[in-house]
Amino acid sequence: MSRSEMSTRSRTVLIPVVGAVALLSLVSCTAVGPDFKAPTAPEIPNWYQEELEGLKASEIDLVAWWKVFDDPVLDHLVETAHLESNTLEIAALRVLEARAQLGISTGMQWPQAQVATGDATYISPTEPNGPVSNFGSYNLGASVAWEIDFWGRYRRGIEASDAGLHATMARYDEALVLLTAQVVQTYTSIRLTEEQLRIAQQNIVIQQRSYEIVEVLYRFGEKAALDLEQAKTLLLGTQATVPKLEAALQKHKNALSTLLGRPPGGVDGLLGGESTLPEIPEQIIMGIPADMLRRRPDVRTAEMNAMAQNALVGVATADLYPSFSLTGFLGLSSGSPGDDNIGDLFSSSSLTYNVGLGFTWPFFNYGRIRNNIRVQDARLQQALIAYRETVIQASREVEDAMTGYIGAQKQGRILAEGVVSANRSNELSMLRYREGFSDYQRVLNAQQALFTQQGRLIDSKGAAVLAVVDLYKALGGGWEIHGGIYEISPATREEMKGRTNWGDYLENETNDDNGSGSNSGGSE
């Protein structure tokens, strides 16, 4: 066949196919399935306990909320956790994974199969009663198959993957909020336990002095052996609390080491010497309910999950309709009996091609497609209700934290007065005992009450600090500090580069709008 004949034939075949593809491309502008509508959150105009003692609802910047405690050691611990936490790095790697998944979904819009093929075959059959006829065959070409996104199946898939990416980003934010709160809580537990140890040691000193006084009086025959044994029992009981508190202190330090991605013993140099509990500011500004809905990562995650599921309803709906595909092959082919010259493969007569347009339509599917749509729609409704439930649970957590803070503050004031009274009672009871106006039981009761009241007071102070932490965690504060950077350590980045070609993904850790816009997630 001459070049002119081949050209005429190719135009005869290609013109209607190209025209059909162009027509399909023009009309394939509608994605079937529901368009996403943001779920309606339960209305929370005001906090139930708004404007109560020590709390104020107003606009607030919670980017670095832990700085309200004005504790440099705590600030450094939080910063270290943000840089070194294994849990947080895993969350960042999941963002990277979701970006790659979005890249897969985006690529499905274009020809789904693009294959280069080639083969060379040489056959020399054996013919006993005749000449041997050799056969050589050589082929080289490329084929393409493209299911045109007529009903928006792949566009809906991109919507689902994009929403999944932003849900993963929100889960990273949630991990950051949780990590920050856990570091502050664990640090508070360390300082609280150190305070409890100090109180125990102070009471051991008081009780040791009382025991020594009773022992002197007993030797001079002024007091009974019972007083001596009672004093010793109280002293030993208080001393026995020290090993338990020391063990608890070490456990809290181990927990902090884990949060910072370090083995046990890795935080001793960061804590410095013994310190006091973080100081609570006179007034806690807690923000307003509407801000919480925009800030809480779990609320945003729930919304993105609903968006992704909404897109999957569209993907399932597309199965109801026929799918149109364009296939094509372009190659070189040569070979015939008695001809084994591979050079003929590149001659003008070796060009071969085919192009076609087809469709498939699973019209007889026994209801499987519609039931799959129903499955996806039921999951969508679950996601929408889960969003509303997340908002309700979030507001409950804020209210619970406010209640805990207010209760701890009120209890602390009462206990502070109780400690003053217990101190005075201890002094008076010991004085009356030495002067012979009362028995030793009153001294025992006074010293036991002093130890108990001091312990309850410091526990109340610790509970107030932890309630403030719970409040800021419930408000979703702290995640904005990453500034759109999902931190992967240099060591991890180099290890991954050495194992896999990541293109520019590992340099694309910044999302300009912190999770509110689309991101293709990198490229080859």
DSSP per position, 471-510: HHHHTTTTGGGGTTB----HHHHHHHHHHS--TTGGG--B
Q: Residue 122 maps to which CATH number?
A: 2.20.200
Q: Does 60 have pLDDT greater than 80?
A: no
Query: Residue 509's pLDDT band (boundaries 50, 70, 90)?
Result: low
Residue 316: closest CA among 359, 380, 360, 364: 380
Alpha-helical runs (H) found in 284-367? 289-295, 297-318
Classify residue 516: in a domain, yes or no.
no
Q: Are strands 284-285 and 55-56 parallel, antiparallel or unpaired?
A: parallel
Q: What percent of the chain is predicted at pLDDT more than 70?
A: 82
Which pLDDT tens digit goes with each residue over 288-302? 666 667 778 999 999
Residue that finishes a domain, picked among 360, 380, 413: 360
Distance CA 232, CA 239 (A): 10
Among 12-26, 162-176, 247-261, 380-394, the minimum mean pLDDT is found in 12-26
**69, 178: one domain:** yes
DSSP state of 118: E
Write out the two tokens for 19. 């025209």
**Residue 59: predicted pLDDT:** 59
Q: Is the pLDDT at 337 greater than 80, yes or no?
A: no
Instruction: Say yes or no to pLDDT of 52 above 70.
Output: no
Nearest to 17 by CA among 328, 364, 426: 328
Please indicate, yes or no, whether residues 214 and 336 belong to a single structural domain of this protein.
no
Pick from 245, 274, 257: which is nearest to 73 by CA?
274
Number of domains the chain contains:
2
Return the structure tokens found at 104. 């897969």
Is 518 inside a domain boundary? no
Domain boundary among 360, 389, 418: 360
Looking at residue 456, its pLDDT comes to 94
Mean pLDDT of 261-271: 88
> What is the predicted pLDDT for the residue at 13?
47
Q: Taking 50 as the threshold, does the pLDDT of residue 259 lie above it? A: yes
Nearest to 444 by CA among 416, 419, 425: 425
Contact 33, 152 (CB under 8 A): yes
- Do 205 and 153 lie in one domain? The reply is yes
More confident residue, 50 or 159: 159
Q: Which of 410, 508, 415, 391 is nearest to 464 (CA)?
A: 410
Does residue 519 fall inside a structural domain? no
Residue 432 and residue 478 share a domain: yes
Q: Is residue 348 part of a domain?
A: yes
Instruction: Give the integer Cα–Cα distance in Å for 381 and 373.
Output: 12
Burial 291-318 (b: 16+ CB within 10 A, else e): bbbebbbbbbbbbbbbbbbbbbbbbbbb
Query: What amino acid occupies position 305?
Result: N
pLDDT band at 16; cut points 50, 70, 90: low
Within a domain: 513: no
pLDDT (0 to 100) of residue 130: 55
Which residue matches tokens 């932890």? Answer: 466
Specify whether 129 is located in the same domain as 200: no
Specify if 122 maps to a domain: yes
Indicate the pLDDT class of residue 228, thresholds 50, 70 and 90: confident
Minimum mean pLDDT range among 80-89, 278-287, 403-412:
278-287
**What is the pLDDT, as a whole number, of residue 516?**
38
For residue 386, the tally of other CB atoms under 10 A from its CB is 17
Rounded CA gap, 302 and 167, in Å?
8
Residues 79 and 169 in one domain: yes
Whether 292 is covered by a domain: the verdict is: yes
Q: How far apart are CA 153 and CA 318, in angstroms?
A: 6
Give yes or no: residues 65 and 144 share one domain: no
Are residues 318 and 333 located together in one domain of the fold? no
Would you say 147 and 323 are in contact if contact means Cβ atoms under 8 Å apart? yes
pLDDT at 522 over 50: no
> 216 with 253, same domain?
yes
Amino acid 514: pLDDT: 43
In a domain, 118, yes or no: yes
pTM beyond 0.75: yes
Alpha carbon distance 434, 378 (integer Å): 79
pLDDT of 512 above 50: no
Is residue 431's pLDDT more than 50?
yes
Q: What does the alpha-carbon distance between residue 283 and residue 277 come to, in Å, rounded to a whole number?
A: 17
Q: Give 359's strand partners.
A: 324
Determine the pLDDT at residue 49.
57
For the cut 50, the answer to whether the pLDDT of residue 489 exceeds it is yes
Task: Compute the mean pLDDT over every residue in the chain, rounded to the nearest whole number.
Answer: 83
157, 68: one domain: yes
Question: Strands 113-123, 323-334: parallel, antiparallel or unpaired by DSSP?
Answer: unpaired
Q: Are residues 378 and 327 in the same domain?
A: no
What percent of the chain has pLDDT above 90? 40
User: Helix, strand, or coil here: 120?
Assistant: strand
* pLDDT mean over 452-466: 93
pLDDT band at residue 349 using 50, 70 and 90 as cut-offs: confident
Indicate if the pLDDT at residue 477 is higher than 70: yes
Same domain, 406 and 428: yes
pLDDT tens, position by position, 30-47 = 788 889 998 887 776 666
Pairwise pLDDT comparison (388 vs 31), residue with the higher score: 388
Q: Domain limits at 4?
A: 1-30+114-148+323-360
The Cβ-side half-sphere exposure at 324, using a 13 Å CA radius, reads 15
* pLDDT (0 to 100) of residue 329: 87
The sign one gets for the Cα dihedral 475, 478, 484, 486 is: negative
Q: Higher model confidence: residue 519 or residue 67?
A: 67
Tokens of 61: 């910047």
Using one digit for the tens of pLDDT, what is the confidence trace for 157-213?
A: 999 999 999 999 999 999 999 999 999 999 999 999 999 999 999 999 999 998 998
Burial of 477 (0-12, 13-18, 19+ CB in 10 A): buried
Please give the average per-residue pLDDT across 405-412, as a whole number.
89
Contact 177, 477 (CB under 8 A): yes
- DSSP string for 398-460: HHHHHHHHHHHHHHHHHHHHHHHHHHHHHHHHHHHHHTTSS-HHHHHHHHHHHHHHHHHHHHH
Q: What is the pLDDT of residue 57?
A: 60
Q: What is the pLDDT of residue 171?
A: 95
Q: Is residue 203 within a helix (H) or strand (E), and if so which, with residue range?
A: helix 153-219
Listed range (45-49, 86-90, 267-271, 440-444) with the worst mean pLDDT: 45-49
Name every residue whose Cβ is closer than 8 Å to that of residue 219 and which is 6 or more positions away in sequence: none
> How confident is the model at residue 291, as a pLDDT?
66
Kindly indicate the confidence band of residue 438, based on its pLDDT and cuts at 50, 70 and 90. Answer: confident
Q: Is the pLDDT of residue 29 over 80?
A: no
Task: Please check the confidence at residue 138 and state whether its pLDDT lies above 90.
Answer: no
CA distance 524 to 464: 52
CATH of the domain at 231: 1.20.1600.10
Rounded to an integer, what distance in angstroms lies between the CA atom of residue 265 and that of residue 221? 52
| pLDDT, greater one: 8 or 182 | 182
